[in-house]
Structure 1
């Protein structure tokens, strides 16, 4: 066997080592608030409000990050990530972001759309043949739909697939019978199980929140030929410097995760141990709708890329026109506005992965027209205001899902713009 000379081996080592991520991707450039048109005095009101909510035991702790004009102007952590062990919330604390995963999966889909590997008007069954016999619930039974759900329907949540809360008892029972999310099964196994559940209505007729983005993650897998986690690592997380984001994390990083607390909304927080995912070697289910864990800094970099119309640190991830389509309302007619049981979000539509404020109403009263964003089951939130060049992320781990922190901080942050 021919041996490689030591000098040659040493010369090769830099090429064989993992590429160093550019500093511009790992760290957003910082600026003092006044240099980008924000009042540092008014931003201090954010500190006071978060402390107030912690003192009232409405939340255990939180992290808040704000960028303006592409510059980081605010990044603070408050309270505790683990009350019982008195562990502080830190800037590198890792959060279960649940449905904030959806925007990332949507961006991954649009990368494949740009490459011609996925088309928005393609039927779902083109990528997931398990759905060739998709059915819709009509007049108390499952029948063939007039049209197939498309990739666009999945992105807009107009496909008719739910989380099992349609309000139609027979249909919701079929969803429960198909089984819950199981982190030990593959995405392919999940698709096979859920393909037996009919749509709640003909595709495009209404807006319904549910498993659509999980199915979208499976589309990404089939169209790219790679596991969803690998595709996200290669095309988004690694080039964006999102080093602490993934479906599974090493044990040392899992130690940095914040504990989940249940709030009775009257000043009592109870430790919650029954979480859907462990983010460990057990986690085979790459849930494109809710399976990621991340830090506030990692997620802010992803959002800044979107706010920059698809570019960050000199690297282009998506075309400007693609981001414009993602962040404009795509809903019309009976699909408007988006709604949940007992929660109609008047004046709010949905794009290709984000909700979008299209008119002033009592819902999201402090929001700006054109503002887009979303949140996660543990009361994590983000919003982007294009007209203000503003990106805001708030992280906590509180059940049940609540707009408490977003609603408390949003008017203060907008009022800090001078």
Structure 2
């Protein structure tokens, strides 16, 4: 460990590496999938039943792809079939890229996990906490008791919360629009005191830009996407990539799916660390493989092994994480991916602290994108997977059922459970 990480990180790193060593001692190496595996059938059944219009799914070990499949169509009512290289909007799955970027800069000493983030970005100085509303509905603000750190931002313990899953933020936003003297955004709690999913990684993206001296798209291209050969991932897409793009489908209340036209795309002038990126399943799987393989793949290293181990170590103690109640059911369902399972959060991923029956083991890492794209990394079993669909609302029950069917079939086929 270098001096750029804290004593807290040394303890986390030692524990994470010990757990990884123990899991590798019992995990059987992944082999080629046996003839007659049921992965194709598990996914095709969901498409043929009309539950989802189209799916691309892939899985890999740290060194080789072990499964790929494409089913259904890119748009209901159109002829173009899903292909493995179909382009998707992956929304919040950019957060993993942003986390990797920030941790690269931590390794270089340009960012620090536990110093005030305002030392780099003054916009994060003097944050205000929403303490409630007075009887007339006016927001009551107070200064935060602690500064926001990069660790808070990466682990979603900063106090920033998305309005999509926080009614108080919705209420505050209405008040701020009416009263321009109010801050544009506030914290919903003091840093380190709770967990809430929100715009923390947008702020991390800005820290990356300031610390590196590059725009986020350029930084990604130079330090992650280019080195890994992720040529179909970026904030903008070419006409040829556009021709491979999947359409969004909106689930109506009666369960039917309505195809949407492709979004109007213009090259952005600013770049978010929290959303707004395109990718494909093969591209994203390369990133997952690199992390599954301790930060390296094909002779290219994007992070040191000790940093990857820290990403996978729970950073939030016993704070409740992972359950989100929607304020807009048209955009997202309530989110609880693993009911009854203890959840943590690392430096970039959700962590299931308990095993999931007939699927991923304890210590697996995961997150998702708004349009029902999902990934997981299971270090103990030596497997990572990605599945991409284009459906709203988020956490669509039929999309999740397809995801679970895919994951379960992968573990049955590899006998990694």
TM-score tier after normalising by the smaller chain length: 0.7 to 0.9
Name the counterpart of 1:82.
75
Q: Larger deviation: 371-380 or 342-351?
A: 342-351
**Cross-structure match for 1:339:** 323
- How much is the aligned-residue C-alpha RMSD, in angstroms? 2.4
Report the CA distance between 1:298 and its aligned residue: 0.7
- Give the superposition deviation at 1:123: 1.5
Q: How does the TM-score come out when normalised to structure 1?
A: 0.81
Q: CA deviation at 1:154?
A: 0.5
* 8 Å CA contact 1:251, 1:280 repeated in 2: no
Distance 1:152 1:111 in 2: 14
1:173 maps to which of 160, 164, 171:
171
In 2 relative to 1, CA 257–136 (structure 1 residues): closer, same or farther, beyond 3 Å? same
What's the CA shift string for 1:183-223, capped at 9, x where partnerless?
xxxxxxxxxx9963110001111110111111110111111
Per the alignment, in what secondary structure is the counterpart of residue 383 of structure 1? Answer: strand
**1:315–1:232 Cα change, 3 Å:** same
Name the CA distance, whole Å, in 2 between partners of 1:57 and 1:152. 42
For the 8 Å contact 2:62–2:290, the answer to whether it is kept is: no
Q: Post-superposition shift, 1:166?
A: 5.6
Residues 38 and 358 (structure 1 numbering): CA distance in 2 closer, same or farther, change over 3 Å? Answer: farther
Q: How big is the shift at 1:385?
A: 0.9
Residues in 1 aligned to 2:89 and 2:176: alpha-carbon distance in whole angstroms: 25
1:15-58 CA-to-partner distances (Å, cap 9, x unmatched) read xxxxxxxxxxxxxxxxxxx9943543453x12112211112211
For residue 23 of structure 1, what is the aligned residue in structure 2?
none
Counterpart residue number, 2:407: 410
Q: What SS class does the counterpart of residue 152 from structure 1 fall into?
A: helix
* Cα shift at 1:267: 5.3
> Is 1:147 matched with 2:146?
yes
With normalisation by structure 2, the TM-score equals 0.82
Q: Tell me the equivalent position of 1:287.
A: 272
The answer as to whether partners of 2:62 and 2:382 remain within 8 angstroms in 1 is yes
Structure 2 CA distance for aligned equivalents of residues 35 and 339 of structure 1: 33
Aligned: 1:379 with 2:369: no
Does residue 388 in structure 1 map to residue 381 in structure 2? yes
Contact 2:55 2:387 in 1 (8 A): yes
* Higher deviation after alignment, 126-135 or 224-233: 126-135
Q: Judging changes above 3 Å, is the alpha-carbon distance between structure 1 residues 124 and 367 closer, same or farther for their aligned structure 2 residues?
A: same
Instruction: Summarize the Cα distance change of 1:274–1:130 in structure 2 as closer, same or farther, 3 Å threshold.
Output: farther
Contact 2:231–2:283 (CA under 8 A) maintained in structure 1: yes
**Following the alignment from structure 1 to structure 2, what is the Cα–Cα distance between the partners of residues 267 and 38?**
37
Give the CA deviation at 1:274: 7.9
Residue deviations 1:334-392, cap 9 Å, x none?
x233321154553111100011111247xx77331111111111111111111111011
Distance 1:62 1:80, change over 3 A: same
1:348 aligns with 2:343: yes
**Contact in 2 for aligned 1:134/1:195 (Cα 8 Å):** no
8 Å CA contact retained: 1:59, 1:263: no
Answer with 1 or 2: which has the greater Rg: 1
Residue 316 of structure 1 deviates from its aligned partner by 1.4
Q: Is 1:246 paired with 2:234?
A: yes
SS of equivalent to 1:304: helix
User: 1:103 is matched with which residue: 84, 89, 96?
Assistant: 96
1:200 counterpart residue number: 188
- 234-243 or 76-85: which moved more? 76-85
Contact 1:375–1:382 (CA under 8 A) maintained in structure 2? yes
CA displacement 1:308-327 (0-9 Å, x = unmatched):
11111112111100000001
Aligned to 1:27: none
Count of residues in Structure 1 that have an aligned counterpart in Structure 2: 364
C-alpha displacement at 1:406, in angstroms? 1.5
Equivalent position SS for 2:250: strand
Q: Give the secondary structure class of the aligned counterpart of 1:40.
A: coil
Which is further off, 293-302 or 396-405?
Answer: 396-405
Structure 2 spans left out of the alignment, 5+ residues: 1-27, 134-139, 326-333
CA distance in 1, matches of 2:244, 2:182: 33
The aligned counterpart of 1:118 is 111
Matches within 5 A, 1:5-404: 36-37=30-31, 39-41=33-35, 43=37, 45-140=38-133, 141-165=140-164, 167-169=166-168, 171-175=169-173, 196-264=184-252, 268-273=256-261, 275=263, 278-281=264-267, 283-333=268-318, 335-341=319-325, 342-344=334-336, 345=338, 346-360=341-355, 366-401=359-394, 402=396, 403-404=400-401
